């Protein structure tokens, strides 16, 4: 009862998941990932251990193909699951159980996979992938949003719409970009509004947080505020409403 895109940004190496569903709080269940590691989406009758155990396997260096094979083989409820994974090399793999409700399935491209179930038809994943592949110059977050908007226009979840979420991981095990719309009549429209709002302060502020290369982060409050304001001004100039 969800469709999602998992991908790696070729320019930055970041990993991301964007998911949407006619279910409450899809972002609480579907997306898993870590910087320099990979990303996972577990959906249909989702198995959260696919996310937990799959992420551990990604951290151990296992391939997407081996992870999907191992997780689906070990789960007695596999027929009702859907899973897709991108590993640190950018390779993807997907599994759709035969009991997943139609339309269900997946498509993939270089460093990207789109999968869904209970969809209006195969055109949903096809148009999502097509839009993603057609927008290589967009920033990664906007590219994921544009892709899912195309899938929504193609019919999306056959039952309607309620929630969506985007998570992006750059270097750290926690996301550098993390927005959720848990309950909204037009969740992807609301996500786009939040995305624009995030670039007014949230996004540049993330760069001030501690990192492995700069453990103390930036603690000069005035300098951080100036940096955020300068970023927002430049970003707004390049993204007129």
Same domain (yes/no): 212, 187: no
Pair (129, 211) in one structural domain = no
**Half-sphere exposure of 208 toward its Cβ, with a 13 Å CA cutoff?**
17
Same domain, 53 and 165: yes
Predicted confidence at residue 214, as pLDDT, reads 86
pLDDT in tens, 86-124: 999 999 999 999 999 999 999 999 999 999 999 999 999
Quote the domain boundaries for residue 51: 2-198
Q: Are residues 151 and 73 in the same domain?
A: yes
66 and 89 both lie in a single domain: yes
The model's confidence at residue 216, banded by pLDDT at 50, 70 and 90, is confident
Name the DSSP class of 157.
B
Look at residue 1 and tell me whether its pLDDT is greater than 80: no
pLDDT score recorded for residue 51 = 98
When the pLDDT of each residue in the chain is averaged and rounded to a whole number, the result is: 96
Number of domains making up the chain: 2
What CATH number has the domain bearing residue 185?
Answer: 3.60.20.10
Query: What is the SS3 assignment for 73?
Result: helix
Which pLDDT value is given to residue 112? Answer: 98
- Give the whole-angstrom CA distance, residue 241 versus residue 236: 8
63 and 117 share one domain: yes
Query: What's the pTM value of the predicted model, to 2 decimals?
Result: 0.96
Contacts (Cβ under 8 Å, ≥6 apart) of 151: 3, 20, 114, 116, 124, 125, 127, 128, 131
Q: Collapsing DSSP states into helix, strand and coil, what is residue 211?
A: coil
Peptide bond into 180 cis (omega under 30): no
Nearest Cα residue to 166 out of 134, 185, 136, 139: 139
pLDDT of residue 241: 82
The confidence band for 215, taking pLDDT boundaries of 50, 70 and 90, is confident
Examine the domain organization and report whether 193 and 210 are in the same domain: no
21, β-bridge pairs: 2, 163
User: In the chain, what percentage of residues exceed pLDDT 70?
Assistant: 100
Secondary structure of the chain: what % helix, strand, coil (to 5)? Answer: 35, 25, 35
Q: What is the pLDDT of residue 146?
A: 98
**Are residues 192 and 100 located together in one domain of the fold?**
yes
143 and 40 in one domain? yes
The answer on 213 and 168 residing in a single domain is: no
Verify that 187 and 219 share a domain, yes or no. Answer: no
Residue 212 is predicted with a pLDDT of: 82
Which range among 127-136, 143-152, 167-176, 217-226 shows the weakest confidence by mean pLDDT? 217-226
For residues 38 and 125, membership in a common domain is answered with yes
pLDDT at 211: 86
């Amino acid at each position: 009862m969800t469709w999602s895109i998992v991908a790696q940004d070729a320019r930055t190496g970041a990993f991301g998941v964007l998911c949407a569903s006619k279910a409450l709080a899809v972002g609480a269940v579907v997306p898993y990932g870590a910087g320099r590691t990979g990303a996972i989406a577990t959906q249909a009758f989702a198995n959260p251990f696919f996310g937990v155990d799959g992420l551990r396997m990604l951290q151990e260096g296992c391939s997407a193909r081996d992870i999907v094979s191992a997780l689906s083989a070990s789960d007695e409820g596999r027929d009702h699951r859907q899973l897709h994974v991108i590993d640190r090399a950018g390779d993807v793999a997907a599994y759709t159980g035969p009991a997943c409700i139609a339309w269900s399935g997946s498509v993939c491209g270089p460093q990207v996979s789109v999968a869904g179930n209970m969809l209006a038809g195969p055109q949903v994943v096809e148009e999502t992938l097509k839009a993603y592949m057609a927008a290589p110059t967009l920033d990664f977050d906007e590219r994921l949003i544009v892709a899912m908007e195309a899938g929504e226009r193609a019919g999306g979840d056959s039952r309607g719409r309620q929630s969506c979420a985007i998570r992006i991981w750059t270097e750290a095990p926690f996301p550098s970009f993390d927005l959720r719309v848990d309950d909204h009549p037009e969740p992807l429209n609301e996500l786009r509004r939040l995305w624009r709002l995030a670039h007014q302060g949230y996004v540049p502020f993330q760069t001030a947080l501690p990192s492995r290369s700069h453990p103390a982060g930036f603690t000069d409050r005035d300098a951080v505020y100036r940096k955020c304001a300068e970023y927002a001004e430049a970003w707004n100039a390049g993204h007129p409403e």
